[in-house]
Structure 1
Amino acid sequence: MVVNRMILNESSYFGKGAIQEVANEVHKRGFKKVLVVTDKDLIKFEVATKVMDVLEKAEINYEVYDGIVPNPSIEDVQAGVKACQAAQADCLVAIGGGSPIDTAKAIGIIVENPEFADVISLEGEAGTGKPALPILAVPTTSGTAAEVTINYVITDTKNHRKFVCVDPHDIPVVAFIDSDMMMGMPKGLCASTGMDALTHAIEGFITKGAWEMTDMLHIEAIEIISHALRDSVAGDQDGREKMALGQYIAGMGFSNVGLGLVHGMAHPLSAWYNTPHGVACATLLPLIMDYNKEFTGEKYREIAIAMGVAEAAEMSLSEVRDAAVQAVKQLGIDVGIPQSLAELGVKEEDVAQIAEDAARDVCTPGNPRDVSVEEIIMLYKSML
């Protein structure tokens, strides 16, 4: 008998202006001191300051830790833990994309579970004993869904690797999905994070752990994202509103069933070359979809129908699988995603070691088709 588990936020707020509820949640939960976790650019461009203004208006005491960088490192987390302890904060307000929210998760876990202060011991399912310091998450990108997942990713810079942590104790207690916070995204970031969201939805839909409830979420997310992403990248407010919802729905699903080889192969690229995670996923997605297609039953037909592929319902299974892959590839081309790993700076001499890292990644075993290191090498090289 298979027992499936669903873990979601305690509360979530959706829509323009949702960040106004941050102060109400802080007061309602009795928090006295907030540590805002964000990055310097979000402060510089007055994105994070929108939330800080809400805190100030409500006379909520807070301090800021803005030492977050893309692909946050062990050292970034440890500095954040020190900042949290120095501030004597009793909650975290994480503002940003996956990097600030992931860092906040690690900070919150370690503050309450100091035996994991080395950070590296959190890899995989660490078995922490206590919930993280409460996290209120405000995403500023439409992609990672970090605000609703039990996963976070940290970079071990010394060993050129990213590691995934999976912990029900790290999920933010409240999420605020406000498209106004996402309007400042440049086109490139909007495209890469949006394609990351599509990757979450597609990988979650075909992963070995998928089941009826997550299938329902993922197919809806695929439909929303594939129809809204082009408009979102063009800067359309309605498109960004829909993307904010689509990426969250995808997160509700994949957080509970895992991902696959796209993420397994993308994580080492970020660790080795500092490639933005969404770009790495988006570049690899059509290739790995094609690799997996014979192991997915009728699911590519459902993907094709959700993406609006003409006559997908009447095509043969072979035809519709190819059509689904092509629809995803064309979407990536339309929003400016690189179509080769050479464009990401990948070097052929590094591929063997990168493939070893990908094979060990926690996401890889969820792939619907089992894969060897030799096959991963072949896949990387086919995109150089």
Structure 2
Amino acid sequence: MTATIVSPRLMRIGGGSVDQIAEVLGLFGLSRPLVVTDPWMVSSGTVSRLLDPLVRADIVAAVFSETVPDPTDTVVEAGVAAFRAGNYDCLIGFGGGSPMDTAKAMGILAAAEPGAKMRAFKVPAQADRAAVPVICIPTTAGTGSEATRFTVITDTETEEKMLIAGLGALPLAAIVDYELTYSVPPRTTADTGIDSLTHALEAYVSKRANPHADSLALSAMRLIGRHLRIAFRQPNNAAAREAMMLGAMQAGLAFSNSSVALVHGMSRPIGAHFHVPHGLSNAMLLPAVTEYGLNDALPRYAEAARAIGVATKEDADQVAGSKLLEELRELNQELGVPTPADYGIGAAKWEGLLPLMAQQALASGSPANNPRVPDAAEIVALYRRVYA
């Protein structure tokens, strides 16, 4: 099998590396950025961590801060309007996955004809063109969007979370500074941490796995498995924050060069219809979906358990697989991951949307990468199982 490997052209990794943003722009001859971020980054002053180094380098940056937690096509369109109203030569996505995904989608939509809609670029379309380069700077250790060729945008007319894939979504450069995560609250640390663990695990067991992605996924699982609980309980633990940021980035590179699978396929409709944060909906699903596919890729799941640190090389694969399931359940319990019912989603509405959610999950293509590929009825059964 031939693997196609993609990654940003440049990645600056380390504490304080956000201070090097002007230098990174200069390496590519860029000097007129539009910063894409969210309202909290502005109101809290966190965006100054990015803007101040630009000011010191005499670079004037404009800010688009209208992004929302689950990026929508209407917000992307508003961002494109702001982009076209100025003379910008790049976009900087600064924040969690939502600002980064919004910036990447803006670059893709801005390259299209005026009036084009984001749904024209959803999978199976290939979104390989962007109007300008995108630089991504994550402030959470989770989505890995700074390193991937994907963006996820909600269609506000159909309430579908659309997977958009292509080289147009691949950042030109990324700055990965774990010091930006110190202020991330425990709930977000937990949700984004399990999100990155899901990326690594699904990339490793995917039908599209390859040796390059495998090495990144295993490294990410080692880092996340040993440090997620510490980062959750000790927000200012530098070693844990650094390990989680590196693990999230490696997990992003892993699934960008392999794929995600059934957890993500089922997670996106939950986010679209019930506005559950993406990492949290992944966490709700991860134990049950892992159990569903366990025996169809048992050696891989067993090796993942060893990488995470819950099984040893002496454990038989079946034992290691069982330990992995136990770990995923315990992790959810310790990090306070609710069921959809506990989250407040009504049973009638959940049940009524299951056929549509299953259809949307399958349409994303991600379930086809799972070790055990479900049909719509099996997905509905899994949704019912995780509900309560």
Question: Does TM, normalized by the shorter one, top 0.5?
Answer: yes
Residues 204 and 115 of structure 1, relative CA distance in 2, 3 Å threshold: farther
Task: Name the counterpart of 2:203.
Answer: 204
CA–CA distance in structure 2, aligned partners of residues 114 and 179 of structure 1: 38
Q: Which runs of 5+ in 1 are unaligned?
A: none
> Is residue 323 of structure 1 aligned with residue 323 of structure 2?
yes
Task: Name the counterpart of 1:361.
Answer: 364
> Is residue 112 of structure 1 aligned with residue 111 of structure 2?
yes
**Matches for 1:98-247 after TM superposition, within 5 Å:** 98-114=97-113, 117-128=116-127, 130-234=129-233, 235=235, 236-247=237-248
1:217-252 Cα offsets, whole Å, 9 max, x none, are 111111100111111112022211110000101111
SS for the counterpart of 1:263 is: helix
Task: Name the counterpart of 2:55.
Answer: 56
Code of the aligned partner of 1:375: E
CA–CA distance in structure 2, aligned partners of residues 116 and 130 of structure 1: 16
Using the TM superposition, give the Cα deviation of residue 268 of structure 1 relative to its aligned residue in structure 2, in angstroms: 0.1
RMSD, aligned α-carbons:
1.5
**Matches for 1:336-347 after TM superposition, within 5 Å:** 336-338=336-338, 340-344=339-343, 345=345, 347=350
1:8-30 Cα offsets, whole Å, 9 max, x none, are 11000111110111111222322
User: Is 2:305–2:324's contact at 8 Å kept on the other side of the alignment?
Assistant: yes
Code of the aligned partner of 2:18: I
Using the TM superposition, give the Cα deviation of residue 158 of structure 1 relative to its aligned residue in structure 2, in angstroms: 1.8
SS for the counterpart of 1:54 is: helix
Normalised by the length of structure 2, the TM-score is 0.95
Using the TM superposition, give the Cα deviation of residue 125 of structure 1 relative to its aligned residue in structure 2, in angstroms: 4.5
**Matches for 1:230-379 after TM superposition, within 5 Å:** 230-234=229-233, 235=235, 236-310=237-311, 312-338=312-338, 340-344=339-343, 345=345, 347-379=350-382
CA–CA distance in structure 2, aligned partners of residues 125 and 167 of structure 1: 10
CA–CA distance in structure 2, aligned partners of residues 318 and 32 of structure 1: 55
Residues 198 and 132 of structure 1, relative CA distance in 2, 3 Å threshold: farther
1:6-51 Cα offsets, whole Å, 9 max, x none, are 0011000111110111111222322231101000101111222210
Code of the aligned partner of 1:96: G
CA–CA distance in structure 1, aligned partners of residues 131 and 192 of structure 2: 26
Code of the aligned partner of 2:310: V
SS for the counterpart of 2:85 is: helix
User: Is 1:226–1:331's contact at 8 Å kept on the other side of the alignment?
Assistant: no
1:266-294 Cα offsets, whole Å, 9 max, x none, are 00000000110000001110111100001
User: Is 1:125–1:167's contact at 8 Å kept on the other side of the alignment?
Assistant: no
Greater alpha carbon shift after TM alignment, 322-331 vs 32-41:
322-331
User: Is 2:129–2:167's contact at 8 Å kept on the other side of the alignment?
Assistant: no
User: Is 2:126–2:165's contact at 8 Å kept on the other side of the alignment?
Assistant: no
CA–CA distance in structure 2, aligned partners of residues 32 and 116 of structure 1: 28
User: Is 1:47–1:184's contact at 8 Å kept on the other side of the alignment?
Assistant: no
Using the TM superposition, give the Cα deviation of residue 210 of structure 1 relative to its aligned residue in structure 2, in angstroms: 0.3
Code of the aligned partner of 1:362: G
SS for the counterpart of 2:337 is: coil
CA–CA distance in structure 1, aligned partners of residues 22 and 121 of structure 2: 31
Using the TM superposition, give the Cα deviation of residue 111 of structure 1 relative to its aligned residue in structure 2, in angstroms: 2.0
> Is residue 46 of structure 1 aligned with residue 45 of structure 2?
yes
CA–CA distance in structure 2, aligned partners of residues 16 and 69 of structure 1: 27
User: Is 1:35–1:62's contact at 8 Å kept on the other side of the alignment?
Assistant: yes
Code of the aligned partner of 1:372: D
Residues 283 and 104 of structure 1, relative CA distance in 2, 3 Å threshold: same
Task: Name the counterpart of 1:381.
Answer: 384
Q: Which runs of 5+ in 2 are unaligned?
A: none
Using the TM superposition, give the Cα deviation of residue 115 of structure 1 relative to its aligned residue in structure 2, in angstroms: 6.4
CA–CA distance in structure 2, aligned partners of residues 129 and 12 of structure 1: 21
Code of the aligned partner of 2:378: E
CA–CA distance in structure 1, aligned partners of residues 266 and 180 of structure 2: 30
1:184-226 Cα offsets, whole Å, 9 max, x none, are 1111011000000000000000000001121111111111001
